Amino acid sequence: MDLTKENIITLLAANDKAVIRAILALYARQTNDEQRVERTKYRNLKGFTAPDGRIGASMAKDIIKFGDLTTKQVNLWRVRSKKTGKMRIEKYAGQLLIVAQEKLAAKSIDSSV
C-alpha cells in the first residue's frame, strides 16, 4: 500500500489498532510540557489541536498504561463533523503521513547498514 493521506484515512476508518497507534504518534509529537499538562499550548502543527489536546493526552496515557482503548474511546475519534463530514482523527492525516514516512526512512536506513 502506498503512503498517502487517503490511504491513512481509509486505514483509520477501518482499523481500531491504527487509531490507537495514531493517538500515540500524535501524543509523541506534543511538546514535553504539553504532555505534562495534558493540553495543547502551542500552534506548532505538531500533535493534537487545542480542542483535542486534553482528551488525546488522556487517551494516550491510557494506552500506555493499559495497552488498549475501549471501542467507545476509539469510536470517539471516528465521529464525523456535521460541518465537514470528516472523522475527528482525519484532520491529523497529514501529520500521520509524516510519521509514517519518517518510520519508513528509518527502516530503510537500518536495513542498509
pLDDT tens per residue, range 68-98: 999 999 999 999 999 999 999 999 999 999 9
The predicted structure's pLDDT at residue 111: 73
pTM: 0.92
For residues 23 and 76, what is the distance between their CA atoms, to the nearest angstrom? Answer: 12
The residue written with cell numbers 482523527 in the block is 89
* 108: confidence class by pLDDT, cuts 50, 70, 90: confident
Band of the pLDDT at 1, cuts 50, 70, 90?
A: low
Which cell goes with 90? 482525519
Q: Are 23 and 56 in contact (CB under 8 A)?
A: yes
How much is the average pLDDT of 2-29? 97
- Mean residue pLDDT across the chain: 94
Q: How far is CA 13 from CA 20, 24, 111, in A?
A: 12, 17, 31
Q: Reply yes or no on whether the pLDDT at 47 is more than 90.
A: yes
How far apart CA 62 and CA 58 sit, in angstroms, is 6
